[in-house]
Amino acid sequence: MAEVLLRVHNNVLMDAITIHVHGIDKHEAKSAVMLFRVVVYGWCSIYSTMPYSKHKLDWTTESTEEAYMRLMEKTMKWMYGFDGHQKCWQPTRTLDGGNIGGAVPISALLINDRGWYNQTDILTRPWNLPLERFLIRKGETVLFRITNGGVAQELMLHIEGHKLLVVAADGNDCAPQEVDRLIIFPGERYDVALRGLKKPIKRTYMLVIETVQYYYFDWTRVDTDYGVAFLEYEDVDMIEEKTPPTFTHSPECTSENRCIVLNCPFENYPSNYNFTCLSYEVLRHPKPEAIDAELLQDTPFEDSFEEHFINMHYDSHVNGFKFEFPKGMPYYNKNRMNLISKECDNTECPSGANRYDKKCKCFFHLKHKLNNIVQITIFNMGKGGGFATGYAHPYHIHGTHYHIMKVGWPKYNASGMIAEMNPDIDCDGADTNCDDVVWRNKSWLHGAVAGMNTRNPSLRDTVTVPVGGYVVLRFRATNPGWWFAHCHLELHHMSGTAYAFQVGEDDEIPPPPANFPHDCGYFSMPSVSSST
């Protein structure tokens, strides 16, 4: 097994950065203790005090090239009616009425940093544009490793004339699953094996990505945006075909031969679409015999088990709170957490508080006992989790991978719109506060959830929590330290849709290097000596 040393230098003059590597859990990596746990464990940012100071908006996206201005409160024009919602701020919705809010209008969809700003050109003459090209030979199998490096939009991918064979997700192998199309949310990664055609009928085939948005917030129709690359057969002696693209009409998907789409944000497309959705839970572990047998238990646990329910609702809340980073590192301040962080106090953040209530900002965190089996039910319900208010959240966890035990979807009407919350969670509707609810059937508590995959659940670190639904996940807490979990939609993450969690007791966490700075984030004035 290869060992990689990452030595990172921060050449940014005015801000600190943190680095997180997706898909690598950093088990027993002493040299990585501070580098990769730095989000909570070693946060040493120096904050600006000027109301108009240039800084990086956020460092957790796949690209950190855009700089923004941090403005005083109520100076963001689009929030207060000074600009049209289709010009500077373009929140949209999917077909089920779930939100894709907080996104700026798309100027181009890029594949390997190549794309084009003009949709008319993309739809009429893509072969004349400087787009990415992937080479393949007849009968050859090529592996594509695909990630969505965006900050707000889920994207659907397909390759003209070819099936997609999904063989891994989030860095973990899965039993091969053949599909026609794949939807990828920000933060997710999929490995797709592509089999070259034995008898291609042309030299190039189009690889297409497209947005899944359907409505503006005022329910008028939003156009689909497209991005294109080319799959080119290098051993085919033909002139490149330049007939007008037909991918906007999906001609290969018919009522008799519906296209299979993996990872939809809803349970299925409306009946007038020739698409059939497959939930990500259909992906299977390739070696079920290698799974920790206790993780597959579906009867009540008696010990070494803990169960948590987390409502990830609105675009900023976790169980009613808005996550706020501590000013210093919890590891060094375990006996004085009140100095570096704000406790999540229900008296300050009343139940059902407004989603923008600043009183709800706090250091929301969990604690998992080392080596316990942890079951987390992430749901998206009640106020801020229903039709036209909720968002499908791509939930990403640091420091561990987890097994997908079950996904629960809401109920939909005949048009495919969200009609009711999933009844398994004791939430009475989209107008109720559902921050402290558990299973409606109390016999499901302590790990006895009906309908779980207890045979071969796949292993992931990023999955999407459907609006009005839930996901049950399990992992064994074997990686001691302070870690981070969050929605991978950037504005949600920044607004507070996140939480920290501690695995193990303080004395079970590997100690940082002796010379590692540990007083950043706050300053304690030394006492003044009274001696003369």
Domain boundaries, the chain: 99-278, 289-508
- pLDDT score for 46: 34
Share of the chain above pLDDT 70, in %: 83
Q: What is the mean pLDDT of residues 432-445?
A: 95
May I ask the CATH class of domain 99-278? mainly beta
pLDDT computed for residue 40 by the predictor: 42
- Per-residue pLDDT, 511: 87
Tell whether the model's pLDDT for residue 261 goes beyond 50: yes
Q: Is the pLDDT of residue 517 over 60?
A: yes
Where are the extended beta strands (E) located within 5-163? 53-56, 67-70, 92-93, 99-100, 133-136, 141-147, 155-159
- Asked if the 289-508 domain carries CATH number 3.30.2350.10, the reply is no
Q: What is the per-residue pLDDT for 252? A: 95
Give the residue, 507 or 493, on which the prediction is more confident. Answer: 507
CB 381 within 8 A of CB 422: yes
Position 8 scores a pLDDT of 74
pLDDT reported for residue 41:
43
Say how far apart CA 355 and CA 352 lie, in whole Å. 8
Which DSSP string corresponds to 384-447? TSSTTT-B-EEEEESS--EEEEEEE--EE-TTS-EEE--TTB----TTS--TT--BSSGGGGGG
- The DSSP element (H or E) to which 261 belongs, if any, is strand 259-262
Q: Do domains 99-278 and 289-508 have the same CATH topology?
A: yes
What is the predicted pLDDT for the residue at 4?
76
Q: What is the mean pLDDT of the chain?
A: 86
| Model confidence at 290: pLDDT above 70 | yes
DSSP run (H or E) holding 121:
helix 119-124
